[in-house]
Amino acid sequence: MSVLVFIELEDGKIKKSSREAIAYGAAIGEVTALALGSASNDELASAGENGATRVLHVADERLNAGLIQPFAEVISSVFASSGASILVTAKSSLADAVVGRVAVKSGASLASNVSALPDTSNGFVVKQSIYTGKATANMSLTSDKKILAIKKNAIELKTGGATASVEATSVSLDDAWFGAKIISSEKAEGDVLLPEADIVVSGGRGLKGPENWGMIEDLAKTLGAATGCSKPVSDMDWRPHHEHVGQTGVKVSPTLYIAVGISGAIQHLAGVNSSKYIVVINKDADAPFFKAADYGIVGDAFEVLPKLNEALKKALA
């Protein structure tokens, strides 16, 4: 079976979640990957490590920004011409906005937040994470063409494959697709992207103010983690909104989530309940977050964090 995997680039590098999508595709068929915008041949060829056989590269610079309509048009066009019956992508802010359009253009069934390989014993059934991680639906995709958006950190990242062949591909771009003009963009530089991270360190109101975030950042640095925060913290502008973890913020699914000074309101838990392990540090022994945790420490963040950071540094040295 031929599978097309759309891979997202971040400053010319293949995102980790896109590598997971390639590994997913490789488990069900022969993977052709599709990359849009500028990237080096070596970087694209490295998609082979995760299981892609070849990479189609539409290198037009106008595709460097993740604009929804041009991406939907180009992906649909390549999906149609590639002969693949399945399109796989990582679930992301961009993919969410793009895949619905591609599904309509392609007449494809679409499942998002897919957390396991398909069961093809009776049709084509995938597991879709629903109710913000509180349940799973076994979703049957009834159309011949199928699109799967894979939940981040849900698929084991396979490495060690061969190098993929990279083929420059041209798709003629219509100016009418570029109706949206980007005026400005702000981006955190060099940090680990929160939705992609293996480890997340999050702080809440217990940190008492934005000036104390150094402790969270130090711990994150030691662990190679991304930093997050609770809703009140982003509402008070202590931290930017893209760090807000929860029901109406970013939903994360890291292997380790460390929550410091967050009581664990149900809206926050909804954003973290797909984490493999949860550590809660809070001075209130009755904080509801402890019930959802694997490991807990009752203590003052200002005392526990520096000690924990030192102990981790020693252990990881």
Partner 1 sequence: MNILVCITHVPDTTSRIAFSDNNTKFDKTGVQFIIGPYDDYALARAVELKEASGGKVTVLNVGEVETEPTIRKALAIGADEAIRVNAFPSDSYFVAKQIAEVAKQGNYDLILMGRESIDFNGGMVHGMVAEMLGMQSFSPVMSLEIEGDTAKISREIEGGKEKLEVKLPFVAGCQEPIAEWKIPNMRGIMSARTKPLNVVEPSDNSTMTAVAQYELPAPKGAVKMIDANNVEELVSLLKNEAKVI
* Least CB distance to partner 1 at residue 3 (A): 19
247 binds partner 1 (CB under 8 A): yes
- Of the candidate residues 28, 45, 157, 298, the single one contacting partner 1 (CB under 8 A): 298
200 binds partner 1 (CB under 8 A): no
157 binds partner 1 (CB under 8 A): no
DSSP letters, 115-128, are -S--B-TTS-EEEE
* Least CB distance to partner 1 at residue 314 (A): 8
163 binds partner 1 (CB under 8 A): no
Taking alpha carbons only, the member of 116, 140, 142 closest to residue 129 is: 116
- Of the candidate residues 105, 158, 205, 221, the single one contacting partner 1 (CB under 8 A): 105
| Number of residues that this document lists for the chain | 317
Nearest 5°: the CA angle 8, 228, 288 is 130
**CB under 8 A: which stretch of 42-50, 53-61, 207-215, 287-295 binds partner 1?**
287-295
Radius of gyration of the chain from its Cα atoms, rounded to whole angstroms: 21
* Least CB distance to partner 1 at residue 162 (A): 29
1 binds partner 1 (CB under 8 A): no
What is the contact mask toward partner 1 in residues 114 to 143, using x (rule: CB under 8 A)? -----------x-xxxxxxxxxxxxxxxxx
* Least CB distance to partner 1 at residue 270 (A): 6
Site for partner 1 in 202-221 (CB under 8 A): none
> What gap in Å lies between CA 22 and CA 5, rounded to an integer?
6
78 binds partner 1 (CB under 8 A): no
> What gap in Å lies between CA 90 and CA 221, rounded to an integer?
26
What is the contact mask toward partner 1 in residues 19 to 58, using x (rule: CB under 8 A)? ----------------------------------------
Inter-residue contact 290 to 282 (CB < 8 Å): yes
154 binds partner 1 (CB under 8 A): no
* Least CB distance to partner 1 at residue 315 (A): 5
173 binds partner 1 (CB under 8 A): no
Label the pairing between strands 52-58 and 256-260: unpaired
> What gap in Å lies between CA 254 and CA 202, rounded to an integer?
12
Q: How many CB atoms neighbour CB 289 within 10 A? A: 23
Inter-residue contact 49 to 16 (CB < 8 Å): no
**Torsion of Cα atoms, 162 then 167 then 168 then 172, to 10°:** -120
